[in-house]
């Protein structure tokens, strides 16, 4: 219970987080770990995501809100403290949600959407430059590289991204480690913990 006590912080403030990406990219597991951490941290937490059609390769978003008492499960435009994007263009799409002074953590990875694959639209390859101009704090992480080189397991990308996110949140590292241990397949615990640590150092 020591961990719990360390993590308890009561703030009148509400923090808004967006996890965005492409259906099938593993945003759901990341959101589950994040909300588990916040729950252990003693916060009221709400999370909202949409299942169904968009899971077939569409643009997906998970809203996570935490603080003293949370009412709406949705984040309003212009109010996100943190945006964690699993894909570059999706970070741009959801940028209107960022509040002035907010932080963007983005995976340096492009997944081309159908209209681009078919040559009917152009991918904004300069996404990172635009993000740099627009976000007060921008963290760019090559999650695949971290996952392969630091953790030796490509499937730890989402946890590497969480590592980068965690370094901008005020929550005890041990709580993160504990929830990761409980959330990932037992055989991959060590790799995920390595990815988490490395993700937090890459900027």
Partner 1 sequence: MAELKLPKGEKSVKLFLSGNEAIARGGYEYGATFAAAYPGTPSTEILENLTSYEEIYAEWSTNEKVALEVGLGASLAGSRVIVAMKHVGVNVAADPLFTAAYTGVNGGFLLVSADDPTMHSSQNEQDNRNVAPFAKIPMLEPSDSQEAKDLVGQGFEISEKFDTPVLIRITTRIAHGKGLVHCQERQQPPELDYKKDAAKYCMLPAFARQRRLVIEERTARLQEFSENFPYNKIEWGSKDVGIITSGISYQYAKEVFGDSASYLKLTLTWPLPEKMIREFAAKVNKIYVIEELDPYLETQIRALGVEVIGKDVIPNMFELSAEILRERILGQKLPEQELDVPIPPRPPVLCAGCPHRPVFYILKKMKVPVMGDIGCYGLAVPPPLEAVDTTVCMGASITMAHGFQKASSWLGTNKKAVGVIGDSTFFHSGMTGLADLVFNKGASAVLVLDNRTTAMTGHQPHPGSGITAKGEPTQEIKIEDVVRSMGVEDVAVVDAYDLDGAEKAIRHALDFDGPSVVIFRRACALLKGLPKLPPLQIDQEKCTKCHICLSTGCPALVHHPDKSVTIDTDACTGCTVCAQVCPFDAIVEVGGEVLG
User: Where along the sequence are the contacts to partner 1 (CB under 8 A)?
Assistant: 22-23, 35-36, 39, 44-59, 70-74, 76-79, 89-90, 92-93, 95-100, 112-124, 130, 134
CB of 201 to partner 1, least distance (A): 27
Q: Which is nearer to partner 1, 93 or 190 (CB)?
A: 93
Contact 25, 86 (CB under 8 A): yes
Read off φ and ψ for residue 105, nearest 5 degrees: -110, 120
Provide DSSP, 81-122.
Answer: EEEEESSHHHHHHTGGGEEEEEEEEEES-----HHHHTTSS-
Q: Residue 188's CB: how many other CB atoms inside 10 A?
A: 16
| ∠ CA 186-188-189, rounded to 5° | 70
Q: Which is nearer to partner 1, 184 or 197 (CB)?
A: 184
Rounded Cα gap, residues 9 and 169, in angstroms: 12
CB of 116 to partner 1, least distance (A): 6
Q: Which is nearer to partner 1, 98 or 195 (CB)?
A: 98
Q: Which is nearer to partner 1, 95 or 193 (CB)?
A: 95
The burial of 170, by beta-carbon neighbours within 10 Å (0-12 exposed, 13-18 middle, 19 or more buried), is given as exposed
CB of 66 to partner 1, least distance (A): 11
Q: Which is nearer to partner 1, 83 or 197 (CB)?
A: 83
| ∠ CA 127-101-33, rounded to 5° | 75
CB of 102 to partner 1, least distance (A): 9
CB of 149 to partner 1, least distance (A): 18
Chain Cα centroid distance, residue 99: 16
């Amino acid at each position: 219970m020591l961990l719990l006590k360390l993590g308890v912080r009561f703030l009148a403030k509400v923090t808004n987080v967006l996890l965005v990406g492409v259906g099938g990219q593993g945003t759901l597991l990341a959101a589950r770990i994040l909300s588990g951490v916040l729950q252990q941290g003693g916060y009221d937490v709400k999370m909202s995501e949409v299942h169904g059609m968009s899971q077939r390769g569409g643009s997906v978003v998970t809203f996570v809100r935490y603080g003293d008492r949370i009412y709406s499960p949705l984040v309003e435009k212009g109010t996100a403290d943190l945006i964690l994007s699993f894909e570059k263009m999706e970070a741009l799409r959801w940028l209107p949600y960022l509040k002035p002074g907010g932080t963007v953590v983005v995976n340096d990875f492009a997944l081309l959407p159908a209209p681009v694959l078919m040559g009917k639209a152009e991918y904004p390859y300069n996404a990172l430059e635009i993000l740099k101009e627009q976000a007060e704090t921008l963290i760019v992480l090559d999650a695949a590289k971290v996952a392969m080189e630091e953790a030796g397991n490509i499937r730890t990308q989402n946890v590497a991204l969480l590592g980068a996110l965690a370094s901008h949140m005020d929550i005890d590292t041990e709580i993160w480690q504990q929830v990761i241990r409980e959330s990932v397949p037992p055989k991959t615990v060590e790799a995920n913990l390595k990815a988490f640590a490395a993700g937090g150092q890459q900027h």
